Amino acid sequence: MKKITGIILAVCTALFIAVQTAFSAPADGWEPRAEECLSYYSTGASPWDSMEPGRSDWAAYCLARLHGSDGAGKYAAGMQERVEELSQSGGFVRPTEYQRSAICIAAAGGDASRAVELGAFRCETLDKQGFNAYIWALIAVNVTGVEQPENAVNTAQSLAGHIMSQQHADGSFSLIGDSGDVDITAAAVYALSGCDADGASEAAKRGAEWLGAFSEYSSMGTVNCESTAQAVIAFCAVGNTQKAQEAASQLEEYRRDGGYAHLPDGEANAIDTAQALEAAIATAQALEAFTALALSERGEALFGRISALPGADITTTETADAQTGQAAAEVPQAVEEITSGLTGKHIRLILSLFFGAGAAACMVVFFLRSKKLLIPALLLAAAAGGVWLLDIRTPQEYYAQGAAGPLRVTVSADCTAALSNMELIAEDVNPRGVIPSDGVVIKQCEVALQEGSSAFDALTAAAREQHVRVDYTGSVYGTYVRGIGYIQEFGFGELSGWLYKVNGEFPDVSAAYFTLNEGDVVEFVYTCSLGSDVGNVFTADVDD
């Protein structure tokens, strides 16, 4: 008994130490951590030689904050030239392109007035991009300090007023709906905390209080590095350094080889490293004034974002595909009961009998000879009963779970864009052998669903019908598709991943949040360039 008790205490102690280690601040402080992040981007003799306009802007912004703008002339000139090229392109340019450019030009010591005018003061297309464009217009005005011109279409006051008008009763903000979103609330807090408009400071504090109710920070129901980093800087912006330190400590869980990963079990990438870099700088300086925040350049908004629900449990609704050993999506469908051969019920019964027999044997020994086997007997008995709570299915049962319902839609998935970018393939993520020669991952088919089903439901129904694996994270409140048919996000660079469109349009919400109608055509497409290579010319803000 003492031995068992000792083992339990040892395990608990190890877990306690592991948790404390994972979520403790770095011993050498946050500024050295920021320097470490900067070294992730260094490829030249001088740090500024590594900064490329339009591709490493937030790293450049952080470099200027840490070391000033000496040597940044080439980068600043390149950014100003890029702004002019965008303005003369003749098509719709997302306001956030100008807004991000303005912030980085100013940080690099350049003249940001042209970019601020195009992205804020004289921009008449903020509503075309959406709520995020208003937030970042105000951020650009705050950070650059460019004076408001006469007859401005938008002013700091009007931008702040619009943002505050979108605040929910609980203090949060979101792109859509009434449920607060961590990422959007954080950005709104930054914008408002640096503005002198009436009520802006109070609104920022309310937003920060909403964020402060969380113990961890998620987007689409998935706790991640970017959302955590944005929360850190939001707390710094309103002077809540205690919460900022607590949130910043959680970033250590994502630290990998001098950079940061999107998820704890992921690999370091430039996008998440930039987020952690900004958070480290903000924490190191314990900012009480406004600082800008870079929303994800990959962005859950692009790959399907919906509002995160306060206090929602983070779960992964996946069922083990016994045939592949990988995650297969689960949706409520009509199940054709299989009565012949081995079934999930048989497997549960076998496991239950096995654990039950072990428990009975322990109890017999306990009563006859030893009192040391009571706890093992109880544990085995609990396991025997707990097996029946598991959803265990054979491959035959899983694939027999066919679609059923009056709603009929057409579904397909393809990676045609990847075929034109095979030189970018990361074979450790996507082996070449998984890329179909014709780009078709799920052949176009019609599926029957229940009324109220989502685009994600359609995907999983079609994938199940054609025996295609779907890898995803999230919960019923939001689902992020990471891979279809073994073709994964980041498999063709940091800007690659799965998008979806319905009737030719790219929705700005999670596939699990888009309700389908009769006859809808759902297409999942793989992009190698944030959607520009698959016709997504208008997306939610993904690189600002």
* pLDDT digit string, tens, across residues 14-44: 433 444 434 455 655 677 888 888 888 877 6
Residue 400 sits in the same domain as residue 483: yes
Residue 502 lies in a domain: yes
Among the ranges given (15-29, 264-278, 355-369, 461-475), the one the predictor scored with the smallest mean pLDDT: 15-29
Residue 108 lies in a domain: no
Residue 509 lies in a domain: yes
How much is the average pLDDT of 288-300? 31
Residue 380 sits in the same domain as residue 420: no
67-93: pLDDT as tens digits: 888 889 999 999 999 999 999 988 888
Q: What is the rounded CA–CA span in Å between residue 358 and residue 366?
A: 12
User: What was the pLDDT predicted at 289?
Assistant: 31
Which one is predicted more confidently, 16 or 435? Answer: 435
242 pLDDT more than 70: yes
Residue 212 lies in a domain: no
Residue 487 sits in the same domain as residue 403: yes
pTM of the full predicted structure?
0.56
Which one is predicted more confidently, 431 or 301? Answer: 431
- Of the residues 357, 392, 427, which one is the last residue of a structural domain? 392
362 pLDDT more than 60: yes
Q: What is the rounded CA–CA span in Å between residue 494 and residue 222?
A: 19
Residue 355 sits in the same domain as residue 423: no
Residue 124 lies in a domain: no
Residue 379 sits in the same domain as residue 419: no
Give the β-pairing of 521-527 and 407-414.
parallel
Q: In percent, how much of the chain has pLDDT > 70?
A: 75
Mean of per-residue pLDDT scores for the chain: 78
- Of the residues 392, 424, 453, which one is the last residue of a structural domain? 392
The domain total for the chain is 2
Residue 273 lies in a domain: no
Copy the structure tokens of residue 224: 């991640």
Residue 410 lies in a domain: yes
Residue 379 sits in the same domain as residue 446: no
299-351: pLDDT as tens digits: 222 222 222 222 222 223 333 232 233 333 333 333 344 344 566 666 767 87
User: What was the pLDDT predicted at 49?
Assistant: 85
Residue 438 sits in the same domain as residue 466: yes
Residue 483 sits in the same domain as residue 520: yes
Among the ranges given (153-162, 262-271, 378-387, 444-453), the one the predictor scored with the smallest mean pLDDT: 378-387
Place of tokens 């439901």: 457
295 pLDDT more than 60: no
User: What was the pLDDT predicted at 542?
Assistant: 41
User: What was the pLDDT predicted at 537?
Assistant: 59
- Contact (CB, 8 A) for 271 and 296: yes
* Top-ranked range on mean pLDDT: pick from 35-39, 185-189, 309-313, 453-457: 185-189
388 is in which domain, residue-wise?
A: 344-392
Residue 504 sits in the same domain as residue 410: yes
Give the β-pairing of 255-256 and 259-261.
antiparallel
Q: What is the rounded CA–CA span in Å between residue 224 and residue 367?
A: 51
Residue 420 sits in the same domain as residue 485: yes
Q: How far, in Å, are 104, 239, 357 from residue 55 at the CA level?
A: 12, 31, 62
Q: What is the rounded CA–CA span in Å between residue 530 and residue 34?
A: 27
399 pLDDT more than 60: no
User: What was the pLDDT predicted at 326?
Assistant: 33
| Strands of 277-397, DSSP E | 318-320, 327-329
Q: How far, in Å, are 329, 481, 489 from residue 316 at the CA level?
A: 10, 12, 17
User: What was the pLDDT predicted at 342?
Assistant: 60
Residue 437 sits in the same domain as residue 483: yes
Residue 461 lies in a domain: yes
Q: In percent, how much of the chain has pLDDT > 90?
A: 35
| CATH of residue 475 | 2.170.130.30
Residue 469 sits in the same domain as residue 505: yes
